[in-house]
Structure 1
Amino acid sequence: MRGLTGKRVLITGGSTGIGRAAAIRFAEEGASVAVNFIGDPEPAEDLVDELGELCPEGEHYLAPADISDEDAVDSLFAGVVEAFGRLDILVANAGIKVVHEPHEVLMADYDRLMAINLRGAFLTAQAAVQHFLDTGHPGAIVLTSSIQAHFPVEDGAIAYVMSKSGMTGMIKALALRYAREGIRVNGVGPGATRTPMNADFEEDPSIEAAVIRMIPAARIAEAEEIAAAIAFLASDEASYIHGQTLLVDGGMGIGRTG
């Protein structure tokens, strides 16, 4: 895609799932990638090694940080900018999902989910915008939302739905405010995707079958398909797209089949 070769990209929640697929796609496009993660470093370390093989001319880094912590985000961006010289693209992808019936939601789980999914997305987007403004070099921000921000399903993930719905507003508000500075803010809204977050698809075929019945395309997405949309929105191919959430959902948003 036009405009990705040589770019410097930070991906939060980048060691597994959609984040991992996005890191690989950007490396394939010739970009340098900083992989943010929390917890076990091994998947991120393995990924950075793989990125180096895919794009040896790039620079690829581990960027551990808890994105729900403001000081940690400041340190994260300072480290990435020191390593890269500057940042061109932020993919705010980190997120978790907790399932409870709405009347049984534990506030500790609610607070943790909101801290990562919504607060973390805002803190990293805020830091990216500040960097773009300070350097006078506008960049692109792509946030990973969800089809459930627009079309919830009855799976007990109300806090997740709320966090992603808030992200939709964030995308529009940031895009509206900073478009004149040349900063582009958009999102992707994945439908059902084969990732560790949806491990129950593999564990219980009946769950996957039930989900597929709701999808006109009659299949679960692969993480690489979501990564392709992320790369597109970050690229020069999407230079006139601002404030949009691109649903990558197999048609689920236009009508469920069952």
Structure 2
Amino acid sequence: MSPRTPIAAAPPIPLGREVAYPRHYDPGLLFPIARTLGRAEIGIGAALPFVGHDRWHAYELSWLDTRGKPVVATATITVPGDSPHLVESKSLKLYLNSLNHTRFDTADAVLARVIEDLSQSAGARVDVVFGLPAMADIAHDGASIDALEVEIARYGPPDASLLAADAGEIVEEQLTSALLKSNCPVTGQPDWASLHIAYRGPRIDRAALLRYLVSFRDHAEFHEQCVERVFVDLLARCGAQALSVEARYTRRGGLDINPWRATPGHAMPARLRDERQ
């Protein structure tokens, strides 16, 4: 095992340009992005209005054993939502690929190294375990709003004024939509996700919610920031007493991300994967 290379504080961002396939272990490939940059735009200050995490699923993880024989695995990576930095997805892919030609004594040594590197990049303890969550049972995932017959004419930027709720009817329900799409803010590539909302409070107008979610369609923003925007807009516009918002993004480059944000005290959603992941 070669000596550990320190993580650079601000390496050139690898997005939007050709990057050579890494042949050697290099934690300096990880590119942290300050969460405050996206949060300032939607009015989130130092006192966060939510708890949550960013759960990554890694489908293409490999390294060499002490004999040079390849080992393959999958992993679930959980970054706390209150960490100072999010980890940019392409840099995470490149970093994991840098393990492909690196020898480790044991699988536990791989976990320890990845936890250490990702925690340093995020600025907080990151949890990493081998394996992936179970597939979701769509029938028990909430009521889908996607079959509603609605006219839609706005595809960006996200328009919170579209949201509405009935203050005269307090409910507790779960809603889902598979129609959330936004774009990478640097490459312009599409990001697809299903959104899962659990709340207690004034009944959310489902047609209004669908129009609002579709208004992300031409919007460029990182996955984590999109979910935080949805959370903040729902809380402000619909007056939820308790709210949970989770997006399950489809896989790109062997990785998918599942940001979750909720009001403090809200139960964590079950760790599941969608069929599109």
Tell me, yes or no, whether TM beats 0.5. Answer: no
> Which structure shows the higher strand fraction?
2
TM-score, normalised via structure 2 length: 0.24
> Which structure shows the higher helix fraction?
1
Give 1 or 2 for the bigger CA radius of gyration.
2
